[in-house]
Structure 1
Amino acid sequence: MLKHLFKLIWKKKKSNFLMMLEIFVSFMILFAVWSLSFYNYRNYSKPSGIDHENVWAVFIDFNTQSDSLRNIYRDLVRQKLKTFPEIESFSFTSSNMPYSFSSSNNMYSYKKNQSMTETMSADPSYPAVLKMTLAEGRWFTKGDEVNKIKPVVITKYLKDKLFGNENALGKIIGENDGRRQVVGILSNFKFENDFQPEAACMIQPLESWPSDMLIRIKPGTTVDSEMKISKALVQLGKDWSVEIQHLENMKANKNRIIWIPILVLLIVCSFLIFNVALGLFGVLFQTISRRKQEIGVRRAIGATKSSILWHFVGETAVITTFGVILGLFFAFQFPLLNVFDIDASTYVAGILLAVVSIYLLVIGCALLPSKQASEIYPAVALHEE
């Protein structure tokens, strides 16, 4: 049976080659779409490590460049915020707070290992505001401010990059004035968006310059309270400006930057695949229509409807297999060469899903023309020829 299929395919090698090329292109598109979808879904399904609900981001401009005045102003703000019963906790933080459009990167090393790391600064109350939990160690405290080497909390991803299987707690990373001592490890911390993969991040005690804040408010707090808090902060200093944003809205904005391009890509790829499916359907329908004499002869010598049906489906599946084999050759280069520094399992999942999808697509396109071919009566087919 297979030998016969290969003979028929070889006799029509020009038209079958074009079909195989079309299947190859479709496979590569499906591979890219499924890999991207699987990658983002896997990242999205992981916990963020923070609770963004009922958290406000407060951006304060003290209208001064003096670090000493900034420290005094921050103390005034702290005292004022403690008078509001709506506020559960608050923390001054660097501008690259979660879901912001700000970033601060530094290279940190331990022995021969290095990693570019997002570096944040915050008050010791930071984990209470975002309800963060540690996998190991502790959070830094006010008492750590006297230490010459700053204590830091790092993500598990950074721990694995720098220390591997070693115990990271108590170890010193960085050099000279940039030395930091690891006191805690976060298992999960998505600070960019919900689709963010595991990232290297370090949180250190607050430095002298930040004037941005995160505030956790009690559930049910109204807009009137937001206006009241904002007005109270503005009145503390001359020419101060205060802007309050909801962390939930900031997160939605960052997520939108990721999922809108993905949605557009999916729509474009779906349109391409739909056009490919129509093309395959047309080619198969025309090919089968031209082979009525062959079908009539086979029916006349006793071939059943089902054998005719599965003959054409099988022939299409063989052509599809050649296109898939060509596609697999290129697709497997991605995990082998570690393209885009993505885990190999993502590409493997994309390959498997693309193989299943392409066979379902092609066989689905082949079924209707094959079914119509199987219902041709021998006398009618031979009479037409």
Structure 2
Amino acid sequence: MLKHLFKIIWKRKKSNSLMMLEIFFSFLILFAVWTLAVYNYKNYAHPAGLETDNVWVAFIDFHAPNDTVKMQYKELVKQQMTRYKEVKSFAFSSTNAPFTFSSSNNQFEYKKKKVMSEVMSVEPAFPDVMGIKLAEGRWFTKADEVGKFRPIVITRHLKNELFGNENAIGKIINEGESDNTPTKVIGVVDFFRHKDDFQPLSNCTFVPAGKWEDTMLMKVTEGNGAELEAQIAKGITQLGKDWSVEIQQMNNMKANRNKLVLVPIIILSIVCGFLIFNVALGLFGVLFQTINRRRQEIGVRRAMGATKKAILIHFIGETAVIATFGLILGVFFAIQFPLLNVFDLEASVYLTGIALAVVSVYVLVTICAFYPSRQASVLHPATVLHEE
């Protein structure tokens, strides 16, 4: 049967080439959409490593003339925060706190291997606020800040890039290109997805807070809202002249960051859906016209004993074979992405995208071919041959 299908397709190679080209471009569009969807889903499936429920972020502008005065102001704020029984824990952080639009990076070196990492300056109470659990080692305390080495906690992704299979706890590394201050790893966390829910595994380093941090994170009891926000903001601003405070809920901040990822995906999906719909209409029209032109052939086959089912399977199978030729060309181009490591994604992401795109194309052409093929299968041979 396949040999017969190939002969029919070859005889109509000019008309079928347009259909193959449409299927080729449809595959590329679906490959891009599915690959992006698989990539983001795999990232989303990883544990977040932190908790955002009932976590608030206070952005404080102290208007401090120098770091010494700012440290004094920060102590005043800490004393003020202890007065609110609704606040379970709090900690100052650098401006690149989770789900903010700020970022701070530095380079870490171990045995001539240099790796870039996000660096977040936080206070010892930070894991209590964010619900962070350590996989190895411990978190730094105030006592660690006066030691010989600067204590840090790193993510497992950074640990694997710097140390491989070696134990990271106790390792001494250099921080920054010109900073020779020895830094000591004392803890490792498995995951820390602090930019959005679709962030891939990445490097992050937690270092003890210094003098300049003016972003405060707080964990509040469940059920509190605008009233407590107003009380805290008013209490802080009354501590100093011209101070300003803005408090945001971290869940809302995370939702805003997620929109930056989801909106382009949704727009791309709508555009691709529109293109695929137009391709489907084109395929349907071509198939319908082609089958109408072959009414005599259908009548002869029906007169020779071909069943309705055989006619239906024949035309759907012919369309599937044409689709296969278009897919072969499409897969050839798509397979170059994992081979050349384009965009530095895992090969499994591309391969899954290819597989889903292939399945989608076959489903699409089957749906488009079903109605015209069904119409062909119900033609009565006497009627068709009489018309001819």
- With the shorter chain as reference, the TM-score category is over 0.9
- The separation in 2 between residues aligned to 1:36 and 1:30, in whole angstroms, is 10
Among candidates 270, 279, 297, match of residue 294 of structure 1:
297
Report the 3-state secondary structure (helix = DSSP H, G, I; strand = E; otherwise coil) of the residue aligned with 1:118: strand
Corresponding residue of 1:221: 224
Deviations 1:147-201 (A, max 9, x none): 2321111111111111111111111222543542111111110010001011111
Paired residues for 1:1-385 under 5 Å: 1-175=1-175, 176-385=179-388
The 1-side partners of 2:351 and 2:29 are apart by: 15
Give me the whole-angstrom Cα distance separating, in 2, the residues matched to 1:65 and 1:381. 94
CA distance in 2, matches of 1:221, 1:366: 58
Describe the shift of the 1:347–1:178 C-alpha distance in structure 2 as closer, same or farther (beyond 3 A). Answer: farther
Q: Is the 8 A contact 1:114 1:161 kept in 2?
A: no
Paired with 1:307 and 1:241, the residues of 2 have a C-alpha distance of 78
Distance 1:178 1:16, change over 3 A: farther
1:272 deviation in Å? Answer: 0.9
Q: 1:60-101 CA distances to partner (integer Å, 9 max, x unpaired)?
A: 111123111011111111111111111100001000000000
Give CA-to-partner distance per residue, 1:295-344, whole Å, 9 cap, x none.
11111122111111111111111111111111110111111111111111
Whole-Å Cα distance in 2 between the matches of residues 11 and 174 of structure 1? 70
C-alpha distance in 2 between matches for 1:218 and 1:199:
31
User: CA RMSD for the aligned pairs?
Assistant: 1.1
Q: What's the CA shift for 1:359?
A: 0.5
Partner-residue secondary structure (3-state), 1:256 = helix
Unaligned runs of 5+ in 2: none
Mapped to 1, the partners of 2:374 and 2:29 lie a distance apart of 28
1:111 aligned partner, one-letter code: K
User: Would you say the 8 A contact 1:97–1:120 is kept in 2?
Assistant: yes
**Per the alignment, do residues 178 and 368 of structure 1 end up closer, same or farther by CA in structure 2, a change over 3 Å counting?**
farther
Secondary structure, counterpart of 2:180 in structure 1: helix
How much does 1:222 deviate?
3.6
Query: What is the alpha-carbon distance in structure 1 between the residues aligned to residue 339 and residue 110 of structure 2?
Result: 28
The one-letter amino acid paired with 1:342 is L
TM-score, normalized by length of structure 2?
Answer: 0.97
SS at match of 1:132: coil
Paired residue secondary structure (1:177): coil
Match of 2:116, SS state, is strand
Normalising to structure 1: TM-score of the pair? 0.98
2:86 maps to a residue whose letter is E
User: Could you list the runs of 4 or more consecutive aligned residues of structure 1 that deviate by over 4 angstroms after TM superposition?
Assistant: none
Q: 1:178 to 1:40 in 2, by over 3 A?
A: farther
Partner letter of residue 314 of structure 1? G
- Percentage of matched positions with identical amino acids: 59
Query: Retained in 2: the 8 A contact 1:156–1:185?
Result: yes
Paired with 2:364 and 2:193, the residues of 1 have a C-alpha distance of 37
Separation in structure 2 between the aligned mates of residue 151 and residue 140 of structure 1, nearest angstrom? 6
Is the contact made by 1:26 and 1:358 (CA closer than 8 Å) also made in structure 2?
yes
Once the two structures are overlaid, the 10-residue window that deviates more, 316-325 or 219-228, is 219-228
Q: Report how far residue 373 of structure 1 moved.
A: 0.7
Query: What is the distance in 2 between the residues matched to 1:160 and 1:221?
Result: 40
Retained in 2: the 8 A contact 1:124–1:140? Answer: yes
